[in-house]
Structure 1
């Protein structure tokens, strides 16, 4: 709220002295993004775009100010809105004549949702607060959690503190909410295991691997969402737990899923500090695992090879890490990829009865 008010005061102050107001928005293009080896995540540079109110900029300027006002309203009323709802809010009702546009933003209404999304991202970078805290939430599934974990939350209806036992969902699981700030945790687990596929999560949860493994299992469901990454980061920091990531053994699993969990996204460098898990390690499936466990594989496609070669040459996270360069080159030379479910060839429960325990006993076989 403080950041929003300060921005609004700056605009008002410039207008009060007869100057055209300006918005200073950090440039979010990759030319203004760098990877910090010391910090372990992407950071945004100092370049900013100064958007001064003019005939050409009046609409996006007005849209940004209206978005700021809407965020202030959401915070004050402890409400939230999805990206799609923000888009429709700007349009207001469909009434005609004198009533037209009364409930909406009038000429500042968005024509298409990508226009609304871009303004939201700019505002997030401008006030340096993640949009979930401003009341804007994505309409997506954020993953599931199982294991010996108590999540401490607030009942939105009563405001009372509630404790959610992640072992008490039977064959189900706890769903990560879109807004995770303010959650508390209590656990005796030794580590967090995040898995790429829902199928593997169901197997591990269905057989209560978390009990024998003394861990918390988190399903990513593909590339982890912001809420998923933030939840894992908060849980790891709060309870001082290591994080192990389990993906398919292919360049997509490494470059899109694991890398996003560990160092964040270059496109969201302005907020990556809060949406990454620098202490994460890849438990598998590694190229060496293919040999060690004689796993069935699939041929690498041309797009896989290109993704791996591009990571070695251009990605600041991979190209600065000798172990990862070696692993990616090894995969390209082998010409194969492997799925998490490939362990089923050695028995349906081999992955939790043998593979995971062996890898946990030998952390040096994990990739950083």
Structure 2
């Protein structure tokens, strides 16, 4: 069996397509004395997927790991082993794991604002219209599968937000109403369901997507970059799980200076992450503006959180920062 090598070293980035694509390097899994366990685990994972599809059922990644406890000597010792084999099977068949019956543990993200999501009742097939302006202090949760959803909206843009705290502040004060937008909480690195939801919503209504993350290398090269172009680990599927039209609103290194934000020193892991991105990330290497931003942050030796804007007042982010930034979208990082 041959599987694509899933890493940044085996992907390229083309600005015209807007996502990571595999270069073509593959790894081979053959049946030998030394590989018999991994080979058997792969076949058992395929068999489990077949059973799930035939019975129209699902299994979380954690459940799949525990199912393997019935596989005698082929059982997994730890879940990371199970996850890796599952991802290999996914890449082998060039489909996403949800199509194979496997679903993630985490939820997709939260949504509030000028959007009606059209879903269907699982039992009756009746159309369900879910108004994302009518959740009070709560929000609509993105389901694990979003392919059959339809959307109605008159919003002008989508604002994706890294932290739940900032999302809650904007929801509490109905910022979506003031800005005529849709708010989406990423909850850290966005799940596939979240990325696919944003992509389908943006494509269906031609909406621009702006992203608001912490001003640090993790926010840039892990959260934002994964949303925009996908990941090296899932490059065989990035065409569907990326949002090429996304642009970074902030927090940028220049924002830290312009808004005189409180900062924290960059940790060694932050500096390493930024330098690794400059050296190895095809997306960062494609855009000079991103290289300059990361170089500026390394030189400044500091990072800033979204909540640092509270220095100027709890609602400064809504009253001043976001309006000022949105007035100059042409300056957003690509």
Q: What is the TM-score normalised by the length of structure 2?
A: 0.93
Structure number with larger C-alpha Rg = 1
What's 1:84 paired with?
A: 62
User: What is the RMSD computed on CA atoms of the aligned residues?
Assistant: 1.9
Deviations 1:40-98 (A, max 9, x none): 22111323334344454444333323322322332233221101111222334xxxxxx
The residue number in structure 2 matching 1:301 is: 267
The alignment partner of 1:25 has SS state of strand
Give the secondary-structure state (helix, strand or coil) at the position aligned to 2:183: strand
- 1:123 matched to which residue of 2? 89
**Shift of residue 32, structure 1, vs aligned partner:** 2.8
**CA offset at residue 309 of structure 1?**
2.7
Aligned to 2:43: 65
Displacement after TM superposition at 1:168 (Å): 1.4
Preserved CA contact (<8 Å) 2:11 2:21: yes
Runs of 4+ in 1 over 6 A off after TM superposition: none
Q: Distance in 1 between matches of 2:99 and 2:225?
A: 24
Judge conservation of contact 1:133–1:179 (CA < 8 Å) in 2: no
- What SS does the aligned partner of 1:266 have? coil
1:305 and 1:64 map into 2 onto residues whose CA distance is 37
CA distance in 2, matches of 1:158, 1:78: 17
Alignment of 1:165 with 2:131, yes or no, is yes
What TM-score does the superposition give when structure 1 sets the normalisation length? Answer: 0.85
From the superposition, tell whether residues 299 and 48 of structure 1 become closer, same or farther in structure 2 (CA, over 3 Å).
closer
Alpha-carbon distance change, 288 to 129 in structure 1, aligned in 2, over 3 angstroms: same
Change in Cα spacing, 1:362 to 1:171, as seen in structure 2 (3 Å) is same
Instruction: Provide closer, same or farther for how the CA distance between residues 247 and 42 of structure 1 changes in structure 2, counting only shifts above 3 A.
Output: same
Residue 249 of structure 2: which of 277, 283, 286 is its match?
283
Q: How does 1:217-296 map to 2 (within 5 A)?
A: 217-296=183-262
Secondary structure at the aligned position of 1:276 is classed as coil
Shift in CA distance, 325/54, structure 1 to aligned 2, threshold 3 Å: closer
Alignment gaps of 5+ in structure 1: 1-22, 93-104
The offset of 1:297, in angstroms, is: 2.2
Shift of 1:366: 1.1
Q: 1:164 offset after TM fit, Å?
A: 1.2
Shift in alpha-carbon separation, 1:334–1:46, aligned structure 2, 3 A: closer
Runs of 5+ in structure 2 lacking a partner?
Answer: none
The CA deviation at 1:108 is 3.7
* Corresponding residue number in structure 2 for 1:210: 176
Q: State the structure with bigger RCO (CA 8 A, min sep 6), 1 or 2.
A: 2
Q: Separation in 2 of the partners of 1:30 and 1:153? A: 36
Aligned counterparts of 1:61 and 1:336: Cα–Cα separation in 2: 47
TM-aligned CA distance change 1:301 to 1:59, over 3 Å: closer
Aligned length: 334
Q: Offset of 1:208 from its aligned partner?
A: 0.7
Q: CA deviation at 1:107?
A: 4.6
